[in-house]
């Protein structure tokens, strides 16, 4: 079918022109304007030969059987079923066939119709059906789809052939009469056939049942003799285009195909004879734009067996379990021709352009849904027969139809359309039966359910409806890659100067040549010795070695080899003399001492070069290529192991908030790889981003690209960083570099690009990129599931299966992109990534169709984002705070938001350790150590159970440290011991284990644990510091001094540990180390008690003036804090400020005594006595 389009001007004129049939008169005032009427003209002209023409048999030979009588072609009748006509249209009389078996009907009819949506819906649902009946047999059928009329076509059916070549080619094929001349009618008919392209005819299958009473008939069953090339000239023409130009261009046809309603309530399952159920079921979809809603009727109650059988107790007896459901599938056994009966009820609806736009906006976006409805109606007169319990089965379902908003998508089949009661005031899209009379009883005396409820809620599993929606054209254009950028990645990377390899200076070349000559001479000597002597000299031979050497020298002199060797060495030494001495000075020395000094210098240099050459003599000379490869592979493995160990140390220090040490190990990895490993640069860049140093992080990722331009991790990270800096054009460059050149299947890159285009307000590119990211994940899921058929399973079983597959495939693309942003501490960008998801678990019924594991990940990401924001706000606050400041409102809000998301995650799954661990982090940020301990303990209890992830090193350390803070040393010891056993080789776990033992008083075991930590990581300053504490507790001052020296060397920065070391040294008389530790503690945030310790140590060391300065400053701070409420950000060392003031006064009085200032000393003692009296 080739529709003939109408030019835009013609369409407009046809729409505005009065209907054909005479000039229209203007209606009088007060009279309604008559509806426009147009005509549809049906034309059935001719049919090509239908069957093989009969052949005239030859005369039989004598004695042969007479030939079978040939039946001539029979007349044919044309039946036409036209939309809107109750009776078929039939040709007036049977038409005799032509000589070649073709037929000419010349059937024409004209129909008047009123244009509108009802007509268009009728045209798209009912095709034009032409049936050719030859004799008493229906031979062929042709269906003409009238859909092109919705696109503004004036003619549908046989197509015109405009080329003249076909006319000339067919001119010689005109049919002629028996006299050999073509008649006028035949010429007209041939001209007509030449001008049209006919439509194919489809054979009507003959009955396949054998005659009654004959099980094995001898003659085969007849088959339809229709020729494959049989066709018909049929067309239908409109008098004018009855669809507006915009509607013809952008209008769509929506096909609604309801399938079934699963999990029916007991009130329906208990009905025995489902075929006698006197109700039918309707399915409705609301359509926007003020057009009639899409309603499909014809649902019926049915019953089918389900998987699994139950035995009735007797052997051989089986009872098949049956389930009741509602289906819109047609029972073909009720029709005379089951093969020609469609097996699924469906209906098409035409949507004008405005409705299409509104539908697109209604479906497109995060969390947007469309409410479909189901209801039951009486089979007899559904519009006039009341149903007292109509509301029992009238239900709605808010479903997401986002598949229809995918680029190029024309189908959508939701699987999670769960039925629920309509909301109060809901405007139904289904017709409602009339209200029943008072006291009317429902069918089967079924009681009505309470208001606000439905009978579907009584089902054992949630009832849901399955259906399919098809669009004639997609709501969005087909997918297309984003346009390429003008800028390349290379233009954004830092420029590097081209390394020019300079030639070695003459001095280096001369030394290399000399070493080569020494090596050749040694090789020649070794070969000569090996040719003259074998084995080791016997012990009985006196002076055997000296004798052999003399013989060797004699042979070398006799053969002249020694002379040649000496000449070559002389030439090589001459090159050294020229390059080392004469190029540095052109003036010859006159002083003999100076000449002797140069000779000495030359001799020492030659000996050194000779030793260098002989040191490597014999190494690698006889090594095979396989041995060389083995050595190289071993060296690579050693380097790889070193890089992995350094990476583990960097991560461990970062977990313990020792960021300087972590950065040191990242830099060590860079040096180990000579800055030529892109992954090492990426690890370093991620660490810098987590520290909030985004500029340095960007440079690190760029360095990774300089090393390897195809590093996907670096490109994705740079895209995310550019989004943070609002450099959206650069983000587009980095993102497109991944999806176009490096890894087109990287779903994270596509999600980052979608976010980029969202900021650039390029909606089409954003939609295409987001769709590509989702399709990659869906493809991976499909590949994992394989081609096995989907079995019917319960909702819980289906969610469990999908969750298991999701663990293998990973989270959706936008969640992966959000996790990448969170790893880079880009909390705002992570939330934007999460918003790219089509489902919104907070605002949509049934959690947006998300599984529990998907909702849990979303909540954890949101909580982590809020926690990162709170941490950044706290860091800014602590850098600019004064004692009178309060925590910023943003930080408080962020903490509350994170806490809310954690609670929501726990309500989803209280057996997952991740929300508990995150909740513990939140409590720890606010210094609620008791609540943090409880949260970490819950996380530890559920780790590794119910298929959950095992406990991480961070969880062990967090729980152990908070237990130490709460002085629960036995529990802390058990926690750290479990960490040492579960995650071996971690110095932090052994340090915590040693500290717990130390607090319990087991010094020997504590020292052993700390020694193990020191052996695992000798650069760990905390291990050295706690070893110092153990030594001081055991009164081993020498060991303590060595340990504190190691702690200072490795940069100990823990103020609490340094303060404790200072206090212990002060108690053991180590004034020098006490003062050094106290000053270091104050540098990194030590409190007032540390200043008190520093003052005492300074006074004991004979510096009362310095002690007085420190003590006065500490006293001023203490008095200030005692007069004001300490802010919540202060360290715990300030909790005992009140107890420090008397000690400070007493110590300051002693310092003034040593300074000879009795007046100030007496003032301090007087203040001290006043405080004692007040207490």
| pLDDT > 60? residue 37 | yes
The Cα 714–Cα 720 span in angstroms is 10
Percent of the chain with pLDDT over 90: 41
pLDDT for position 544? 74
What pLDDT score does 7 carry?
35
| Residue position matching structure tokens 């400053």 | 1113
pLDDT tier for residue 451 given thresholds of 50, 70 and 90 = confident
- Given a cut of 50, whether residue 1037 has pLDDT beyond it is yes
1053/653 Cα distance (integer angstroms): 13
Q: What is the pLDDT of residues 1141-1174, one digit of tens each?
A: 888 888 888 988 888 888 988 988 888 888 888 7
Give the least confident one: 91-95, 131-135, 281-285, 817-821: 91-95
Other Cβ atoms closer than 10 A to 275: 10
Return the pLDDT at 169: 41
Instruction: Identify the weakest region by mean pLDDT among 98-102, 161-165, 1027-1031, 1035-1039.
Output: 161-165
pLDDT tens per residue, range 207-226: 655 555 555 555 566 778 88
Helix (H) or strand (E) run with residue 805 in it: helix 795-809
Q: At residue 170, does pLDDT exceed 90?
A: no
3-state secondary structure 785-796: HCCCCCCCCCHH
Confidence band for 943, pLDDT divided at 50, 70 and 90: very high
What is the band of 343 on the pLDDT scale with cuts at 50, 70, 90? confident
Whole-model pTM?
0.78
Residue 302 · residue 325 · CB < 8 Å: yes
Q: What value does the CA radius of gyration of the chain take, rounded to a whole number of Å?
A: 47
pLDDT at 1132 (0 to 100) = 45
Residue with the larger pLDDT of the pair 541 and 760:
760
- Model pLDDT, residue 1120: 81
Q: Please tell me the predicted confidence (pLDDT) of residue 540.
A: 61
pLDDT > 50? residue 879: yes
pLDDT at 61: 63
> What is the reported pLDDT for 497?
67
**pLDDT at position 118 over 60:** yes
Shortest CA distance to 1030 belongs to which of 1062, 985, 1083, 994? 994
| Cα–Cα dist 1130/874, whole Å | 12
Among 25-34, 457-466, 470-479, the minimum mean pLDDT is found in 25-34
What band does 870 get if pLDDT is binned at 50, 70 and 90? confident
More confident residue, 46 or 961: 961
Spatial contact of 127 and 143, defined as CB atoms under 8 Å apart: yes
Instruction: Please report the pLDDT score of residue 12 as a whole number.
Output: 32
6, 13, 22, 109, 120 from 38: Cα distances, Å:
16, 14, 12, 14, 13
Helix axes 795-809, 852-880, angle to 10 degrees: 50
**How would you label 364-380 residue by residue, b for 16+ Cβ within 10 Å and e otherwise?**
bebbbbbbbbbbbbbee
Q: How confident is the model at residue 806 (pLDDT cuts 50, 70, 90)?
A: low
- On the question of pLDDT at 26 being above 60, the answer is no
Helix (H, G, I), strand (E, B) or coil at 236: strand
**Torsion of the alpha carbons at 814, 815, 821 and 824, rounded to the nearest 10:** -150
Confidence at 1133, pLDDT banded by 50, 70, 90: very low
Section 561-574 average pLDDT = 83
Answer with the residue of higher pLDDT: 828 or 62: 828
Has residue 1127 got a pLDDT over 50?
Answer: no
Q: How high is the pLDDT of residue 582? A: 65
With vertex at residue 713, the alpha carbon angle to CA 707 and CA 719, rounded to the nearest 5 degrees, is 105
Q: Binning pLDDT at 50, 70 and 90, where does residue 1015 land?
A: very high
When mean pLDDT is compared across 352-361, 485-494, 554-563, 686-695, the lowest value belongs to 554-563
pLDDT at 1066: 92
Give tens-digit pLDDT for 829-860: 999 998 888 676 665 555 556 777 788 888 99
Q: Is 1022 helix (H, G, I), strand (E, B) or coil?
A: helix
Q: Tell me what pLDDT residue 750 has.
A: 95
Residue 607 parent element (H or E) = helix 592-615
* H or E element at residue 257: strand 252-262
Query: What is the average pLDDT value for the chain, to the nearest integer?
Result: 81
Question: Is a pLDDT exceeding 50 seen at residue 925?
Answer: yes
Report pLDDT digits (tens) over 703-748. 999 999 999 999 999 999 999 999 999 999 999 999 998 999 999 9
pLDDT of 190 higher than 80: no
For residue 261, pLDDT over 50 is answered with: yes
* Banded pLDDT at 63 (limits 50, 70, 90): low
Give tens-digit pLDDT for 625-649: 676 677 778 888 888 899 899 999 9
**pLDDT interval class at 545 (50, 70, 90):** confident
Q: State the pLDDT confidence band at 986, using cuts at 50, 70 and 90.
A: very high
| Residue of 694, 525, 705 whose CA lies nearest to 617 | 525
- In tens, the pLDDT along 406-430 reads 999 999 998 888 899 998 888 899 9
Question: Residue 342: pLDDT band by 50, 70, 90 thresholds?
Answer: low
Which residue did the predictor score with more confidence, 401 or 887?
401
Average pLDDT over every residue of 290-303 = 92
Looking at per-residue pLDDT, the higher value among 1065 and 72 belongs to 1065
- Longest CA–CA span in the chain (Å) reads 162
pLDDT at residue 1128 above 70?
no
User: What would the mean pLDDT of 81-95 be, rounded to a whole number?
Assistant: 86
Is the predicted pLDDT of residue 1134 greater than 50, yes or no? no
DSSP code of residue 739: I
Q: What is the pLDDT of residues 1022-1034, one digit of tens each?
A: 999 999 999 999 9
Q: Are 236 and 146 in contact (CB under 8 A)?
A: yes
End-to-end CA distance of the chain: 105
């Amino acid at each position: 079918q080739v529709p003939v389009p109408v030019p835009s001007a013609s369409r407009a004129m046809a729409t505005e022109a009065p209907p054909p049939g005479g000039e229209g008169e203007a209606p009088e005032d007060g009279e309604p304007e008559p509806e426009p009427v147009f005509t549809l003209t049906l034309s059935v002209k001719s049919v090509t030969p239908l069957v093989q023409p009969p052949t005239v048999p030859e005369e039989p030979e004598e004695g042969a059987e007479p030939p079978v009588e040939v039946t001539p072609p029979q007349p044919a009748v044309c039946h036409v079923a036209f939309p809107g006509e109750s009776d078929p249209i039939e040709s007036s009389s049977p038409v005799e066939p032509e000589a070649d078996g073709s037929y000419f009907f010349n059937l024409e009819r004209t129909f008047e119709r009123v244009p509108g949506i009802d007509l268009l819906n009728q045209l798209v649902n009912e095709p034009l059906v032409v049936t050719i009946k030859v004799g008493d047999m229906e031979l062929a059928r042709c269906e003409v789809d009238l859909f092109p009329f919705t696109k503004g076509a004036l003619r549908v059916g046989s197509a015109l052939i405009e080329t003249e070549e076909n006319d000339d080619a067919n001119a010689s094929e005109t049919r002629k009469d028996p006299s050999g001349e073509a008649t006028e009618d035949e010429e007209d008919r041939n001209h007509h056939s030449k001008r049209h392209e006919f439509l194919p005819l489809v054979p009507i299958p003959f009955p396949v049942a054998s005659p009654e009473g004959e099980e094995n008939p001898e003659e085969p069953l007849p088959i339809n003799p229709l020729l494959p090339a049989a066709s018909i000239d049929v067309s239908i023409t409109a008098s004018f285009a009855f669809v507006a130009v915009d509607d013809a261009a952008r209008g769509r046809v929506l096909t609604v195909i309801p399938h079934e309603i699963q999990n029916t309530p007991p009130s329906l399952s208990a009905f025995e004879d489902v075929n006698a159920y006197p109700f039918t079921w309707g399915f409705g979809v609301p359509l926007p734009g003020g057009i009639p809603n899409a309603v499909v009727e014809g649902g019926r109650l049915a019953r089918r067996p389900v998987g699994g059988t139950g035995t009735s107790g007797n052997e051989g007896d089986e009872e098949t379990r049956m389930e009741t459901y509602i289906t819109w599938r047609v029972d073909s056994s009720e029709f005379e021709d089951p093969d020609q009966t469609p097996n699924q009820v469906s209906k098409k609806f035409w949507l004008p352009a405005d409705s299409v736009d509104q539908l697109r906006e209604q479906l497109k976006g995060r969390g947007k849904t469309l409410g479909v409805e189901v209801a039951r109606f009486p089979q007899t007169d559904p519009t006039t027969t009341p149903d007292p319990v109509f509301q029992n089965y009238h239900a709605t379902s808010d479903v997401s139809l986002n598949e229809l908003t995918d680029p190029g998508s024309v189908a959508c089949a939701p699987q999670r359309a769960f039925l629920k009661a309509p909301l109060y005031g809901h405007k139904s899209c289904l017709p409602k039966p009339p209200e029943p009379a008072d006291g009317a009883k429902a069918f089967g005396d079924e009681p009505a359910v309470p208001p606000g409820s439905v009978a579907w809620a009584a089902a054992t599993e949630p009832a849901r409806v399955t259906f399919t929606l098809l669009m004639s054209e997609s709501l969005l254009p087909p997918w297309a890659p984003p346009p390429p950028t003008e800028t390349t990645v290379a233009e954004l990377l830092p420029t590097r100067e081209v390394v020019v390899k300079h030639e070695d200076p003459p001095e280096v070349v001369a030394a290399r040549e000399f070493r080569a000559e020494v090596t050749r001479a040694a090789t020649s000597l070794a070969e000569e010795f090996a040719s003259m002597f074998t084995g080791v000299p016997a012990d009985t031979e006196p002076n055997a070695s000296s004798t052999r050497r003399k013989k060797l020298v004699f042979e070398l002199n006799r053969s002249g080899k020694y002379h040649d060797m000496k000449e070559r060495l002389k030439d090589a030494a001459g090159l050294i003399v020229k390059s080392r001495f004469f190029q540095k000075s052109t003036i010859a020395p006159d002083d003999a001492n100076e000449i002797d000094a140069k000779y000495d210098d030359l001799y020492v240099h030659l000996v050194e070069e000779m030793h260098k050459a002989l040191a490597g003599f014999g190494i690698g000379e006889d090594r095979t290529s396989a041995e060389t490869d083995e050595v190289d592979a071993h060296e690579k493995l050693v380097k790889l192991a070193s890089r992995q160990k350094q990476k583990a140390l960097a991560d461990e220090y970062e977990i313990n908030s020792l960021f300087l040490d972590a950065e040191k190990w990242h830099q060590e990895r860079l040096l180990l790889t000579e800055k030529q490993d892109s992954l090492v640069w990426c690890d370093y860049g991620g660490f810098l981003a987590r520290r909030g140093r985004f500029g340095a992080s960007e440079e690190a990722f760029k360095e990774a690209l300089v090393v390897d331009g195809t590093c996907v991790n670096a490109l994705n990270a740079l895209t995310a960083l550019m989004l943070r800096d609002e450099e959206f054009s650069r983000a587009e460059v980095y993102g497109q570099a991944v999806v176009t050149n490096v890894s087109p299947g990287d779903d994270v890159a596509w999600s980052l690009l979608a976010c980029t285009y969202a900021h650039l307000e390029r909606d089409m590119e954003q939609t295409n990129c987001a769709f590509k990211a989702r399709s990659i994940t869906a493809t991976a899921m499909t590949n994992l599931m394989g081609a096995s058929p989907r079995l019917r399973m319960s909702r819980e079983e289906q969610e469990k299966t999908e969750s298991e597959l999701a663990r293998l495939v990973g989270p959706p693309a936008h969640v992966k992109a959000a996790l990448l942003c969170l790893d880079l501490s880009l909390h705002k960008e992570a939330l934007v990534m999460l918003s790219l998801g089509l489902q919104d678990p907070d605002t949509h019924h049934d959690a947006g169709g998300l599984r529990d594991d998907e909702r849990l990940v979303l909540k954890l990401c949101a909580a982590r984002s809020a926690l990162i924001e709170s941490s950044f706000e706290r860091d800014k606050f602590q850098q600019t705070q004064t004692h009178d400041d309060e925590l910023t409102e943003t930080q408080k809000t962020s903490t509350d938001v994170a806490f809310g998301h954690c609670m929501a995650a726990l309500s989803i799954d209280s057996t997952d350790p991740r929300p508990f661990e995150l909740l513990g982090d939140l409590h720890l940020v606010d210094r609620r150590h008791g609540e943090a301990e409880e949260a970490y303990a819950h996380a530890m209890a559920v780790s590794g159970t119910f298929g959950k992830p095992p406990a991480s090193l961070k969880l062990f350390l967090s729980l152990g440290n908070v237990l130490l803070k709460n002085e629960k040393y036995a529990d802390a010891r058990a926690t750290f011991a479990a960490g040492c056993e579960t995650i071996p080789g971690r110095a932090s776990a052994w340090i915590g284990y040693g500290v717990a033992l130390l607090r319990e008083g087991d010094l020997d075991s504590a020292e052993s644990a700390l020694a193990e930590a020191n052996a695992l990581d000798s650069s760990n300053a905390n291990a050295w510091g706690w070893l110092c504490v153990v030594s001081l507790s055991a009164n081993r001052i020498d060991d303590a001094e060595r340990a504190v020296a190691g702690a200072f060397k490795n940069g100990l920065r823990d103020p609490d540990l340094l303060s404790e070391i200072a206090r212990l040294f002060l108690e053991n008389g180590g004034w020098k180390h006490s003062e050094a530790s106290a000053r270091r503690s104050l540098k990194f945030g030590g409190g007032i008690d540390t200043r008190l310790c520093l003052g005492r140590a300074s006074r004991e060391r004979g510096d009362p003036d310095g002690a007085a300065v420190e003590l006065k400053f500490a006293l001023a701070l203490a008095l200030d804090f005692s007069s004001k409420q300490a802010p919540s950000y202060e360290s715990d060392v300030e909790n005992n400020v009140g107890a420090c003031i008397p000690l400070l006064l007493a110590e300051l009085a002693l310092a003034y005594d040593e300074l000879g200032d009795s007046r100030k000393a007496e003032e301090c003692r007087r203040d001290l006595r006043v405080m004692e009296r007040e207490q």
